[in-house]
């Protein structure tokens, strides 16, 4: 059984598909901030929990060019539901940051963040492929994930505004 949900809000676009234990999430947002400003928020692993709802995150080590990050995520719909993951993050290109599960309570958790320049700002894309280790009804899992993932891009946008103001991308002195 597959439940496909298209989520719309004023700015972000999020698509979620849940198929008996498998989760595919794609979320996109265009913001008036530079690539560097966006990456300063998206890759701030030790502080993600300060602005991302239901998340604790901390860097626990390095493995060559890979960064190891422990994340504990909860659900606002099912408060006792917690996922603990050891994730490996690696910059695959200047515009793409991949991640994958090394250990943890989910059978699969991998995907990427990408940030690309757009006129007047940047486009942020987040893709997640996950697989649960334990059975939950698809409707319940879909509702829980939808409720929590709807908050990812608005939280990123709010943190960008908090850190960098509402003026949008900073121009280098050479471009003024």
Q: Is residue 39 part of a domain?
A: no
* Residue range 162-174: mean pLDDT, rounded: 60
User: Is the pLDDT score of 40 beyond 80?
Assistant: yes
> Mind listing the pLDDT tens digit for each residue in 77-90?
676 777 889 999 99
Q: Is residue 33 part of a domain?
A: no
* Residue range 126-132: mean pLDDT, rounded: 88
* Residue range 60-83: mean pLDDT, rounded: 84
Q: Is residue 115 part of a domain?
A: yes
Confidence (pLDDT) at 121: 94
Query: Which structure tokens are listed for 144?
Result: 């829980």
Q: How many domains does the chain have?
A: 1
Give the integer Cα–Cα distance in Å for 67 and 146: 28
What's the CATH code of the domain at 113?
3.30.530.20
Which is nearest to 41 in space by CA: 157, 171, 173? Answer: 157
Look at 26-40, 79-93, 105-119 and tell me which has the smallest mean pLDDT.
Answer: 79-93
- Single pTM value for the model: 0.81
Give the integer Cα–Cα distance in Å for 1 and 130: 16
The residue range of the domain holding 59 is: 45-157
């Amino acid at each position: 059984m597959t439940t496909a949900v298209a989520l719309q809000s004023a700015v972000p676009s999020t698509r979620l598909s849940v198929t008996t234990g498998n989760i595919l999430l794609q979320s996109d947002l265009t913001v008036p901030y530079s690539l560097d400003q966006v990456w300063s928020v998206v890759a701030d692993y030790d502080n993600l929990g300060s602005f991302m709802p239901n998340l604790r995150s901390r860097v626990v080590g390095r493995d060559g060019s890979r960064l190891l990050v422990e994340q504990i995520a909860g659900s606002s719909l099912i408060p006792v539901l917690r996922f603990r993951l050891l994730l490996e993050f690696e910059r695959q290109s200047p515009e793409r940051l991949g991640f994958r599960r090394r250990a943890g309570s989910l059978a699969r958790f991998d995907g990427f963040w990408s940030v690309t320049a757009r006129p007047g700002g940047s486009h942020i894309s987040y893709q997640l492929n996950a697989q649960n280790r334990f059975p939950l009804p698809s409707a319940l899992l879909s509702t829980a994930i939808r409720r929590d993932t709807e908050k990812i891009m608005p939280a990123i946008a709010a943190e960008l505004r908090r850190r960098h103001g509402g003026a949008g991308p900073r121009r280098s002195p050479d471009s003024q």
